[in-house]
Structure 1
């Protein structure tokens, strides 16, 4: 892992970005993210899916010379036809999706995504069942932690005690069946939702000897258990979500897109207060995998008080402003390099060592007041914008840092 990442530190709307070390970073969907000038946003680095294929083995050559030559010519014709067909297929697969196709993918997947996320919801927690505890992996030991860190150390690994509550009526009580089902729709549900594995062979209160953080949801003695009990901001069923006021695609490429649906919800909650009308957003990010299939890679829910003067279709970034689309190297963007470059710029050029956070989004625009840094960058308008902001004092202007797809900073603007 890169030693420095822009990373989320908590879920309480006072998040700040720091330099961290870790393994297997992943993020859970954020179900309630409210707008304010102090709202902090996580930065996530994506993964890449790869596949391999094998060519059929050629026939043996135990034939007469004339037959071999005849066969070779036939094979050449067949191979040429196969290559032509493959090129045609590749062209068809790489064609961009229409707006209708993107919308259908959203509608075919959104309820499944919510169902998977609801495994960790408060409403699906069976509090009548006895909770169980296990020591689950936290990370590697660092001498700077000292000896009083409240965790259990075994060798160089640290574990913390986690309480798991039984999930009510999951689709299956077999954790592997759950993963197999959700994998049909969601890219790496273990990363997105923390789906782990069966730990029935572990005694309660013992250590789960598995160096992974994908243990938010586990199987145990014929049941499914979860550690996180989030309150969902959006009903699982479409009919209960409110009036649709916006459907739009964002960040669309041949291999990825974001679809956002915004609802008007009456007498809704925002941060514990009821507002007459709320605008609530669902954002799903999609990516085309190497086999040509499309899967959900990330989801967000966010809301703010409805603003009748705001054209929600005109927004050129997701309404939730929760970091834009999922980023992986399949999209031709080196997100790790870009985020590290932005972090270095903040500490080395802006000279801010204290707590800060950084919002980010994909963009194809530059502001009029930008400072040009270099001409040596990729001019394809496939850029990232990192916005630096003081975490607590808000002392000083916000700074937008623009990188190209290779992570090169080429423009900076204050606002």
Structure 2
């Protein structure tokens, strides 16, 4: 067996060494260190093997004798290539690992997490909104179910007469024109204003009137406005730019001579249509439609008209149903039946 000497590389041409540059460091010390390791590895691999012939015969061409250092140099180059390959593989793995720690990648992860968080929060908000709407609808439906048509109709029929009464309090029938009067000179209007004393024994003063109608109205004060005269001096109204519908004088109530038309007692007239609206646990709307009574100057005064009363009822703090508001209007029968989709009654 023959030991292969790699020392020949020390005497090799520069082009031989340059071929190893791609596989080694630029540092000369590093080159020598790699070469020494290659020699050691080669010696271990070649120990115990037979001496190989350095001559290769090829037919058809002239014989060519490779240099003695060719084979060990090839083996050394292969080893250097392997070492460089392992190093490159390790470097690529590190690079690949660093890609996952790249700031852009981290930012993308944070952004994805933020978007996911926002999406989850948006989904949660949408879910809460949906639940709130569902709960509100359920509450309304529950209120509708708890207030039957008959119950709401009963409340409307019971309270409607008190609205009609309060509405007619400023009309003839609740006082006597030939009865006691209160005359007030108005310099603003340059005329004498006449007020008639109410003859209702249920109340004489404004406080008594409010106390009485508070049983039936949520806010009777907004329904009835009264100007109170302190003492007996009516001259306080001489330059007043307003004509008050009701005044209190010496604890008595008086209404102005410019009276409003009387509204017939439609609570006693059979309705042609009734329906509820905006039903809640503590309130609901009610529409009551009837044929206008003859002589009704307020809503039309003709049997060819339909009187429409739109009322709202609410519970007070004690849970008692009262009148919140009422609006009276009228329309022609043909128009009413066309809008309601019903046929005209004969």
Q: TM-score, normalised by structure 2?
A: 0.46
Higher helix share: 2
Q: Which structure is higher in RCO with an 8 Å CA cutoff and minimum separation 6?
A: 1
Structure with larger Rg:
2
